[in-house]
Amino acid sequence: MSFSQAELITALQLLSERLPNFPESQVRVSRLMRVVTERLTGRLNEGLKSYGINENLWFAMMAVYVSPNSEILPSRLSDLMDLTRTSATRLSDEMVEHGWVERHINQQDRRQIVLKLTAEGEAFIQKVWPFVSAKSGEAWAAFTEEDYAQLQHLLDKLFKNLED
The answer to whether 96 touches 103, Cβ cutoff 8 Å, is yes
Average pLDDT score over residue span 120-140: 94
pTM comes to: 0.83
* Residue 1 pLDDT greater than 70, yes or no: no
Closest by Cα among 76, 73, 79 to 106: 73
For 128-142, the DSSP string reads HHHHHHHHHHHHTTT
Helix (H) or strand (E) holding 105, with range, is: strand 101-105
What's the pLDDT tens digit per position in 99-117? 999 999 988 888 889 999 9
The pLDDT assigned to 6 comes to 86
The answer to whether 69 touches 31, Cβ cutoff 8 Å, is no
**How far is the C-alpha of 59 from the C-alpha of 82, rounded, in Å?**
11
Average pLDDT score over residue span 63-82: 95
Average pLDDT score over residue span 12-24: 90
The answer to whether 63 touches 80, Cβ cutoff 8 Å, is yes
Contacts of 105 (CB under 8 A, 6+ apart): 112, 113, 114
Average pLDDT score over residue span 137-149: 93
Proportion of the chain above pLDDT 70, given as a percent: 99
Q: Which residues are paired to 72 by β-bridges?
A: 115
The pLDDT assigned to 86 comes to 94
* Residue 164 pLDDT greater than 80, yes or no: no
Q: How far is CA 138 from the centre of its chain?
A: 17
